[in-house]
Amino acid sequence: MEHPENDSQYTGLTVNNGVAQPPIVNPYLVKKRRKALPTASELVEGILKGDVTMLSRAVTMVESLAHDHYAIAQEVIEKCLPYSGNSRRIGITGVPGAGKSTSIDVFGLHVLRDGGKLAVLAIDPSSERTKGSILGDKTRMEKLAVHPNAFIRPSPSAGSLGGVARKTRETIVLCEAAGYNNIFVETVGVGQSETAVHSMVDFFLLLQIAGAGDELQGIKRGIMEMADAIVINKADGDNVGPAQLAQAQYRSALHLFPPTASGWKPEVLTYSAYYEKGIAEIWEMIDRYFAFVKENGYFEEKRKEQARWWMYESIDEQLRKHFYDNPVIEKRLQICENEVLHNRMSSFAAAADVLKVYFNQNNL
């Protein structure tokens, strides 16, 4: 049947000829070519020469979630490992506002006065929220940021604390292979990330400030126990007295702690990062620490223990990932979780059920 629209008498809606569609892609736009991935050997060669661009690219691959990047990164790390280890790894922690950025800036310049190179890395578990911008942000360390021998890298942003920490640990290897003989690892002193940092540094420095009420409140005992030194910042102006009082309080608190495995007695010093007072004393103490632990063998012992710890940590992390990333397991978990929540299955039976599916799937 003829369509009514074709009738000249038709008065209803008609379809007009449309206009030609413009092309979706602007033909004048020059297509940007993606930079080809460097090979592991190219990266290693660059890193060993101290090439900062190659180092940065390798670190980006360590942090990447892409499979091909991961494989290259692991090869680079393995090849850099024999050239790593020759550094002082120092963990620096303190609550926001304690003056970490200001301090790292002046500490950094102090260590660089004698030559050498410094890498400032960070572990910030909250960076998933803030896209890694709080820590390691270059603008916070103005002088170091423009120093030719300083390499500043913000916290890896994606993933669990364990994953973020592992990436930082791997980055240390790359930086050392590139000749960075001073490594600072920064954390916000509020959570569990301190334990992760402790497992990758030789010396752990806790930054504190006075005048925040009862000095020993609000600081986790665990963090204090890990500290090889507590340094009280902002000992300037009217704050000198309170800083000294806090120093006395920390000293007596530390007496109550069990002796450290290293045999080193943690020290408490005051300083002012802003006015650059007391910095040399802190560094003189850190020098003494390194001389002490190298002499009594603890330095080597701790590094070996850390390597062992990371081996197991890495196994744990990869097993968990393999398990939880599995879509069948994901579904099964949901079902079992629901059963547990409705009291139809015990937690243990549910766990056994999910694990059985996993083991069967992997022929275990």
Closer residue to ligand GDP (CB): 102 or 155: 102
Minimum distance, C-beta of residue 276 to ligand GDP, in the bound complex (Å): 8
Minimum distance, C-beta of residue 154 to ligand GDP, in the bound complex (Å): 13
Minimum distance, C-beta of residue 138 to ligand GDP, in the bound complex (Å): 13
Are 257 and 298 contacting, i.e. CB atoms less than 8 angstroms apart?
Answer: no
Closer residue to ligand GDP (CB): 149 or 233: 233
Q: Which of 143, 92, 144, 111 is nearest to 283 (CA)?
A: 111
d(CA 328, CA 243): 57
Minimum distance, C-beta of residue 110 to ligand GDP, in the bound complex (Å): 14
Minimum distance, C-beta of residue 321 to ligand GDP, in the bound complex (Å): 32
DSSP letters along 122-171, please?
EE-TTHHHHTT-SSS-GGGSHHHHT-TTEEE-PPP-SS-HHHHHHHHHHH
Closer residue to ligand GDP (CB): 220 or 356: 220
Please give the residue ranges that form the binding site for ligand GDP (CB under 6 A).
Answer: 94, 96-102, 233-234, 236, 272-274
Query: Crossing angle of helices 298-324/279-295, nearest 10°?
Result: 90
Per-residue CA distances from 151 to 24, 118, 179 (Å): 42, 6, 11
Closer residue to ligand GDP (CB): 133 or 260: 133
Enumerate the β-bridge partners of residue 229: 205, 267
